[in-house]
Chain A
Amino acid sequence: MEMTEMKDENRKFKIVLTFCVMFIFWLLLSAWTVYLPEPYDFSKVSRGVLVALIVTFLTYEIFVPCRGKDVLLKTQRFIPYVGWELWQIYLATVDVAKRVYGILEVDPQIIEFDTTLRSDFALVTFADSITLTPGTVTVDISDPERGRFIVHAIAKGPADSLTVDQTMQKKVGYVFMEE
């Protein structure tokens, strides 16, 4: 009895959340064609609501697979991480440019290492981060249960920063609380 009630509540929560995100997204994308000729009228906005509803009922199971824990805290920790990541993208490009124009050497190697990350979102974030930071590209996550990554590094320095320093593992682990 209690289980079904909780399930119902979860379902409602998923539908409301998906609808809000879809409608805001529609508003952002089409606001200028809706608003500029004349201020919002009912028929135009109702079209947006209709489309958002259709998309919501088609996708809410995929869009919000389960109710996360500590979402607010994780979001709060994620925002500074994105800033740090943008800085890393800049450094990565400078690093590759130096190797292209022959200032630094190219000495590629494939490395394999374990991490403490387990959840899907943390693994995806870390894999994307590896590709965006200097000198390393993710090849594969060979064993998601143990968080095992295969990484192609363009030289020894970038490889060491993953296996020895482990700055980024700690940062991602801190964001997703999986240290």
Chain B
Amino acid sequence: MLAIDIIATMFLAAGTFIMITGTVGLLKFPDFYTRIHATGKCDTLGQIMIIVGCMIYEGFTFITIKLLLVTAFYLLAGPASTHALMKAAYVTGVPVWKKGDKRM
């Protein structure tokens, strides 16, 4: 039981660290598009890590299957929402930051 707790906690901690990395990127990167890079990618893996941690903690029950379905849905919905934001910004003409420009 203790070993399972430790492994689950490690997964949860890794997921949280990845989410924090995404947030730091959101605050640090220079323009809209690069900020989306940080959040869009870190969110996916962070979420998966946290859900896997929950799965290990719960043991194998029907809830595990539900969590697995949530993961699958997240893998589809994450990129789709990122793309929707990107396209909206691109179509309405949000300027793209080039190296050497001022922060936006």
- Hey, which bits of chain A sit against chain B, CB under 8 A? 28-29, 31-32, 89-90, 92-93, 95-97, 99-101, 105-110, 127-128, 131-132, 135, 137-140, 150, 152, 154
Contact = CB atoms under 8 A, between A and B. Distances in A.
Given A97-B42, A100-B25, A137 B76 contact: no
Nearest to A36: B62
Contact of B96 (A106, A108, A135, A137): A108
A139 B83 CA distance: 6
Interface in B25-57: 25, 28-31, 33-34, 36-38, 40-42, 44-46, 48
B4 interface: no
Given A131-B79, A152-B86, A154-B37, A96 B30 contact: no
Contacts of A110: 96
- By size class, the interface of chain B is 35 or more
Contacts of A32: 61-63
Given A108-B34, A138-B86, A28 B40 contact: no
A108 B97 contact: yes
A28 B79 contact: no
Contacts of A95: 41
Interface centre among B40, B44, B63, B79 (most CB of A within 10 A): B79
A161 to B, nearest CB: 15
